A and B are shown apart, each in its own frame.
Chain A
Amino acid sequence: MPDELNQESEVKEIVYALATSPDFAKSGACFSARQSGLYRSNDGGETWNSVYGSLTLDAPLMTTSVVLSPAFPQDGLVFAGTNGGILRSLNGGKTWEVAILRTPSPLVSALAISPDFAGDRTLFAGTMEDGVFRSTDQGTDWVFWNFGLYDPNILCLVVSPNYTADHNLFAGTENAIFRSQNSAHSWRETGFPLDRGPILSLVISPAFTRDGTLFAGTDSYGLFRSKDRGQTWQHLPGLEVTSSINAVLISPEYPLKAELLVLAEERLLVSRDDGLTWSDWCDDIVFEGDPIAVAAPSGLNAGSPLLVGLSTGSVIRI
């Protein structure tokens, strides 16, 4: 194991990120990135096993982000962001290759993959301190440019659903939201209001090309929406929360189904009217820890399964 990957001497288990296979309903395959490493479940989140068995680790390897190839059931490609590098598996986690980022190696805080990954082989890694890295060869080599990205502490990253044509991606940082229109070569600050950061979560409309919509969850100022590709942002007053919005999910059928789900104030809140009103996803649910990450492999229809990762390290299925 390369020295650049910083292994943890003391582990306080937290789930940082979740990723589900496109064929989750059939295979039940999903991954959880945790303080103690990366775990895979093949039964929809009931049981979890570490996938770092093939690595020679002296101590747990904190894994902060995970992303799967859009064709995961066929190609088995998994990417995991760690403190110092990015791991790639070509077989669903059985074996791993390590890509070390340029020294001093940063912590990888977010991973995002091109929707046309099979064609362009492109994915992005947001890091703390070093901005956004890009790979155009399925994660073998990584480079960063980051012109205009004067806040290099990336907390979240989203890629346009029409990336192949528009080369757009957005990065949320401690203080601002940046937009790149040229595959992360250069960045421009969006019109996100000053002093409303940090931006913990971003989600982009599946119809972004037409509606230019994206949502941003902040640490203490609630949820914001932009309908003009980030030029202006409006606070959504219907969501009366002041705590961290750790995750925002959007319906795959948005805007036809204007449904949103947020993790806020230790609650799972859903809006079915484009953020005007909010209600609990389901009654009588009590989390044994703070919900940190959420995945909705089958969309946001009532009754669809949700996976929620907690600050205790457990993942519950609702």
Chain B
Amino acid sequence: MKKIKNKRVIFQPTAYKAMQTGINQMANIVRPTLGPLPRMVVLEHNTKNERPEILDDGGTIARRIVALPNRDQDMGAMFMRHVLWQQHEKAGDGTATTAVLFQSIFNQGVRYITSGGNPMPVRKHLEKGMEIVIDELKGMATRLEGQQKIAEVAESICYDHEMAGILGEVFDFLGEFGHLEIRSGRSRQIEREYVTGTFYKMPLFTAEMIKDRDKLMAYAEDVPVFVSDLDFDDSAQFSPLLRVAGESGIKALAIIANHVSDSAVAFLVSISRNPQKFQAFAVDAPIPEEGQPVMLEDVAIQLGAKPFFKAFGSTAEGVTFEDLGQARRVWADKEYFGFVNGKGSPQDVRKRIDELKKRYEAAKDVEARNKVRVRIGKLLGGSATLWVGGNSDLDIEMRKARLERTVEAMRGALLKGTVPGGGVALLACRPAMQRMAAQAGDEDEKFAYHTLARALEEPARAIIQNAGCDPDVIIDRIDKAGAGQGFDVRAEKIADMAGVGIVDAASVTMAAVHSAFASAALALTVDTLIHHKKPETVFNT
């Protein structure tokens, strides 16, 4: 160990040893959560008064561990933590699989490199092997269709029969891009609610515009809609709109605006006293930070409206009936503005959806991807809300977290298909690695493919071990049983995994392979650790 000014530098072999200890600690914490019979991990809270947190999700467990006492080992642990959290964010599941794959590759690699292997070519071959394994998984993936199949995949992710059944129905209805909200419920079960049409967070400017006191919403049929981000400070500014309404004989008008003054709101309420004759209601457009322009553009496309934007110098002056959008049914309440069957051009809607789907595929950032997905869901129309109940607040929070995780993974499964579960898909990639090892040109290459072939067993081993069985014996039986066969840990027997509904989302498995293989290959090239003399702070994100 050397000390530079304000820095502490650790060289090999100490660096590897410390990294390895940290990585193994982190992996061993997450490992018990893998499989349908997982063990829970209980975390003590910072304040003693709070109840401990019970977790079964590798990503969250890793995130809760903010530092190990030994700072050298901590570097390895935090490296692993980052990898697991990235996997969690990217795929919603597969963190434990990532952990055991990473651990196996890293441990084998350290042994090889410390006995004279060259880390750089090893990394290159590991990354090549990763591509081959991902291609193998793509070849195995089968399209996910039908409520029953979707429910089976959901159960393989959340291990909750009730939740899986509901997700089967919800995703069968909504599809991979459908808009789904998850909220805390009051009953013990999970309840679902479907809404036909589309809605956006655009509340009415005043509850006085609500004419239907039973449903607590403003509602009208075949309604023209003025789509804008304009400010209406004076009731006189509504004149062009009301002139158009009068000329075209319409009985209702919905206005989307950025601001409507109190006096202007009162004016709209006053002219809507007899909704049978005429009613107008105005809703508050979202603020720009919440994506107002694109949201209004989406709304305008669905309604067939010309959007009026302040930024383009638009005003309501000169508005014509053709500038207004229209929908078969329009509603608004204190939170949302919604409509069913907007009369925009379906071709324009279709083009917009296609454009957004391309953007979704290209999005690297999870947040950006989710925003695009929500927009697609709204353009497709229809949404669902799941109200998650439970036996206690703690139970509800746990189920909600599990549901959110499962939903994310399910979207990937619907997009990329499924592969046999229980680690069988990864076991089936071993022959490809063994073939590559047989054709290897040098020892480093041979080692890399042997390492990956061995690592690919590790998720199945962990699942079997967590169920209390002997992995060596069971893996041997799986190998003898043939293609697609694996160990059904619940039934404690060898079975056709896809046949008995034990499947994994291909997107999750592929993401786990990518995260684990690439990160472990990179970690093996670490030569030196450098610490700040004193850590400035420890983050708990």
Instruction: Tell whether B196 is near chain A: CB-to-CB under 8 Å.
Output: yes
**Chain A residues near B19 (CB-CB < 8 A):** none
* C-alpha spacing A151/B266, complex, angstroms: 37
Chain B residue at minimum C-beta to C-beta distance from A174: B346
**B382 contact set on A, CB distance < 8 A:** 145-148, 186
Task: Give chain B residues whose Cβ lies under 8 Å from the Cβ of A195.
Answer: 347
- From B170-178, B491-499, B502-510, the one touching the partner chain is B170-178
Whether the pair B173, A129 counts as a contact (CB closer than 8 A) is no
- From 76 to 99 in chain B, residues with beta carbon under 8 angstroms from any chain A beta carbon are none
- Residues of chain B with a CB closer than 8 A to A152's CB: 328, 341, 346
Q: Tell me whether A150 and B380 are in contact in the complex, defined as CB-CB below 8 angstroms, given that A145-B173, A174-B346 are known contacts.
A: yes
The reply to whether B381 and A144 form a contact with Cβ atoms under 8 Å apart is no
Residue among B146, B172, B328, B346 making CB contact with A176, cutoff 8 Å:
B346
Whether A286 sits at the interface, judged by CB under 8 Å, is no
Interface pair B328/A129, CB less than 8 Å apart: yes
Partner pick for B346 among A147, A153, A181, CB 8 A cutoff: A153
Q: Which of A129, A145, A148, A173 contacts B175 (CB 8 A)?
A: A148
Among B146, B341, B349, the residue within 8 A (CB) of A129 is B341
B3 is an interface residue with CB less than 8 A from chain A = no
* Chain A 178-200 near chain B by CB (<8 Å), digits 1 or 0: 00011001101100001101000
Q: Does A131 contact B (CB under 8 A)?
A: yes
The yes or no answer to A220 lying at the interface (CB within 8 A) is: no
Beta-carbon nearest neighbor of A148 in chain B:
B380
A189–B380 Cα distance when bound, in Å, is: 10
Q: Within the complex, which residue of B174, B194, B350 is in contact with A194, where a contact is CB–CB below 8 Å?
A: B350
A182 touches B341 (CB 8 A): no
Q: Which of A146, A149, A182 contacts B147 (CB 8 A)?
A: A182
Task: Count contacts on A: residues with CB < 8 A to the other chain.
Answer: 28
Interface residues of B, CB < 8 Å — how many?
A: 27
By the criterion CB–CB under 8 Å, are A145 and B196 in contact? yes
- Asked if A175 is at the interface (CB within 8 A of a chain B CB), the reply is yes
A131 touches B341 (CB 8 A): yes
Inter-subunit contact B350/A175 (CB<8 Å): yes
A-B contact pairs, 30 of them (CB 8 A): A104-B328, A129-B341, A129-B343, A130-B341, A145-B196, A146-B381, A146-B382, A147-B173, A147-B174, A147-B380, A148-B175, A148-B178, A148-B380, A150-B302, A150-B379, A150-B380, A151-B350, A153-B346, A173-B346, A174-B346, A175-B347, A175-B350, A176-B346, A176-B350, A182-B147, A185-B173, A186-B174, A186-B382, A194-B354, A195-B347
Residues of B bordering A, CB below 8 Å: 145-147, 172-175, 178, 194, 196, 221-222, 302, 328, 341, 343, 346-347, 349-351, 353-354, 379-382
16 extra A-B contacts, CB within 8 A, seeds A144-B196, A146-B382, A147-B382? A129-B328, A130-B328, A131-B341, A145-B196, A147-B174, A147-B196, A147-B381, A148-B178, A150-B379, A151-B346, A151-B349, A152-B346, A173-B346, A181-B145, A186-B175, A186-B382
Chain A residues proximal to chain B, CB less than 8 Å: 103-104, 129-131, 144-153, 173-176, 181-182, 185-186, 188-189, 194-195, 197
